[in-house]
Chain A
Amino acid sequence: MKEREAKNRIKRRDFFQKSFHTIVGLTIGGLAGILSSKSSAEEMVWQLDPNICIQCEKCAVNCVLPHSAVKCVHSYSMCGYCDLCSGYLQPGAKSRDTGAESQLCPSGAIKRTYIEDPYFQYTIDEELCIGCGKCVKGCNSFGNGSLYLQARHDRCLNCNQCSIARRCPSQAWKRVPASQPYILRGDESGKYLNG
């Protein structure tokens, strides 16, 4: 009698475990179903919206990488090619030349090349750029706004929680589809739909 009872108990426990197992399995399936209805096969990547960015210089220091993945980019189509470039020169610079004391960029990452009178081309050396956005502030304030910051996706690790986004005071960072990974200005914005 007792033996049979014990056997029955084991069966009962087994039955409960089996049914729990099935219920949980179905729940996970259901959860995956709900999630997949809200999903896309595409990856999402982090990007900052230059139209919201206030150049607080936090991008330079808050990236998990030793050298920030945020760099200054240049929409040449918008640039005025000015001799007196407010993104390149210190305010009140004594002379308009490539002297270190006249440059706004702390790491000398902007190259100034003469094109033709009175135009100069400005190019960013990404290896030197630290992503502080000092030049962006200068260009936005007095120029055409052709210089702006972007996360460069050849460098960005695409962390699940972007360490810069978390500390961005203007909440300019968002997740964008990997097929449109940049938010560009000027004619260059035609490259991606969300310009």
Chain B
Amino acid sequence: MGEKLKRLKFFFVALVLLCPVFVLSQVQERFPKPDFESGYVRPDLLTPAPRAAVWEYMDIFVLVVALSLATYFAHKQRSRRNIFLLMVFSLVYFGFYRKGCVCSVGAVQNVSYALFNPAYIIPVSIILFFVFPIVFALFYGRTFCAAVCPLGAIQDAVILKPVHVPEWLASLLGVFPYVYLGLAVLFAATGAGFIICQYDPFIGFFRFGADFNMVILGLSVLLLGTIVARPYCRFLCPYGVILSWMSRLSRRHVRITPDECNKCRLCEESCPFGAIKKADDESQPIKKEGDVKRMAVIFVLLPVVVFGSGWVGSRLDISLSRLHPTVSLAEEVLLENSGKRTEMIDATKAFRASGKPSEELFSDANSIQNQFHKGGWILGAFIGLILCLKLISLFIRRRQLEYDVDKGICLSCGRCFAYCPYEQVRLGLMTPEELRELDRRDVKIKQFRA
């Protein structure tokens, strides 16, 4: 027994001494496979399969059906109730059941990753998740946002007492989605990671678990969402930028009134998202003095601003590229090679074990930094352009003849429908005579005031 223990001790000491040699070498047949005499049969290694492809197609099917229903509810039925019910269904299905992955918002990154990395094979289901809401928005407006997107749904469900965000502030905050979109595309295209998924504030709720910071972020966005309706959708969502542009071009878009607008102003405060364009007072001309001059100034400044912000973007290349794993690894290796740090970290240990020469890593990191340099130019110029266009759009004033939705902002949620007296007539809750009577009274009041 003592002999055995001694041998065991020796064995361990030898092994501990040899440890540095062995740690990095793997898969070695140090011990021969045993020959069993007792008729022992080796158990199988179980390899449970991932979710079957059928279910991925099921998701796409649900997406298309939900989009069609949302469009039908908003355009034909004009029923806020049905839109809300569909929204709850989407929250449960795409959010809590599918755990929020993959969503159309995140698919933006897969698409840009696929476009710039030939090695990445993008699954068809992700392409369809990306394309379908866009196509629907191009024809019918943002019905996806209204009732299909789980991120929108969870925020819509907590709207309690929405405050009116001043137009200039909303316009200013509206720049953030463009910045976020630009950054997400840059990071995805260079392979640095998917930041939209990483900083998704609601995914923790869908999964009933996230790290502490993300839970705090999610809770604060939801808390903010009680007074500022759908803050993520309006002031952050990168996919919303794309949908908003599609919606602006849409052939058919929901209108507040099913018939005509009598400018009764009843719908004025009904939209929590500030998407209702008020009708102009026809008796007063639109003030235009100075606008042309200001616009001309912006047009002259436009190339300067675009170039300047492009330059700023390109100067950020080094700090942005640090988010790329290859670049950050190269920096760590460089730190060790130069002797500034003597102790290895996990990442550099793994790199050195792989036997890849440092020079190769450095040249890889260098080419990635070059990509970031180019990308930084494009991103900066893009943001500059957006800023200028936002400014210009403030000076473009078109005569608004009736109350209508701003196609870019409107989510087709259907909240305003019921405020319109013509909608009440359509639903049979009011007779046309009553409406005419109301109109007549309204005209009289106006005359009285005048």
Name A residues whose Cβ lies closer than 8 Å to a Cβ of B: 17, 20-21, 24-25, 28, 31-32, 34-36, 38-45, 50-52, 54, 56, 64-66, 73-82, 84, 86, 91-92, 115-116, 119, 121, 123, 137, 140-145, 152-154, 156-161, 166, 169-172, 175, 177-178, 181-182, 184-185, 188, 191-192
Contacts and interface: CB of A to CB of B under 8 A. Distances in A.
Contacts of B346: 54, 56, 169-170
Contact of B12 (A45, A77, A92, A185): A92
A54 B28 CA distance: 15
Nearest to B249: A21
Interface in B102-122: 102-103, 106-107, 109-111, 114-115, 118, 120-122
Given A91-B16, A119-B36, A39 B124 contact: yes
Contacts of B111: 31, 35
Contact of B349 (A28, A54, A74, A140): A54
B125 interface: yes
Which of A39, A115, A152 has the most C-beta atoms of chain B within 10 angstroms of its own C-beta? A39
A47 to B, nearest CB: 10
A91 B12 contact: yes
B27 A145 contact: yes
Given A38-B114, A41-B53, A115 B30 contact: no
A64 B347 contact: no
A25 B101 contact: no
A95 B124 CA distance: 55
Contacts of A169: 345-347, 349-350
Contact of A42 (B31, B43, B44, B53): B53
Contact of A160 (B11, B194, B207): B194
A41 B60 CA distance: 13
B135 A28 contact: yes
B76 interface: no
A38 B121 contact: yes
B316 interface: no
Given A44-B123, A52-B354, A144-B30, A157 B50 contact: no
Interface residues of B, number: 78
B48 interface: yes
Contact of A43 (B118, B123, B251): B123
Given A43-B50, A65-B209, A144-B28, A77 B138 contact: no
A185 B34 CA distance: 18
6 contacts: A28-B134, A38-B120, A39-B123, A45-B50, A154-B48, A166-B198
Given A24-B246, A65-B209, A171-B325, A43 B12 contact: no
B50 A161 contact: no
Contacts of B347: 169-170
A80 B30 contact: yes
A39 B15 CA distance: 49
A50 to B, nearest CB: 8
Nearest to B52: A178
Contacts of B115: 34-35, 38
A65 B31 CA distance: 36
A145 to B, nearest CB: 4
B101 A160 contact: yes
A54 B353 contact: yes
B436 interface: no
A80 to B, nearest CB: 3
Contacts of A185: 27
Contacts of B22: 140-142
A40 B8 CA distance: 54
Contact of B29 (A31, A78, A119, A161): A78
Contact of A159 (B30, B101, B135): B101
Which of B23, B28, B33, B44 has the most C-beta atoms of chain A within 10 angstroms of its own C-beta? B33
Given A24-B138, A28-B134, A169-B346, A64 B209 contact: yes
Contact of A161 (B33, B198, B351): B198
A65 B207 contact: yes
B138 A157 contact: no
A21 B138 CA distance: 7
Contacts of B285: none
The 8 A-B pairs with the shortest beta carbon distances in the complex, nearest first, are A80-B31, A170-B350, A154-B48, A169-B347, A161-B194, A169-B346, A161-B197, A153-B50
B247 to A, nearest CB: 11
Given A161-B198, A170-B346, 17 more contacts: A38-B114, A39-B121, A40-B123, A42-B123, A43-B53, A64-B207, A80-B33, A116-B38, A119-B36, A156-B50, A166-B193, A170-B351, A171-B350, A175-B120, A181-B49, A184-B45, A184-B47
Contact of B249 (A24, A44, A50, A178): A24
A76 B16 contact: no
A49 to B, nearest CB: 11
Contacts of B36: 115-116, 119
B34 A157 contact: no
Which of A32, A35, A41 has the most C-beta atoms of chain B within 10 angstroms of its own C-beta? A35
Contacts of B106: 160-161
A175 to B, nearest CB: 8
Contacts of B353: 54
Contacts of A144: 27-31
B124 A36 contact: yes
A24 B249 CA distance: 9
A91 B32 CA distance: 21
Nearest to A81: B34
B40 A178 contact: no
A176 to B, nearest CB: 10
Nearest to B347: A169
Nearest to A43: B123
Interface in B261-317: none
B359 to A, nearest CB: 18
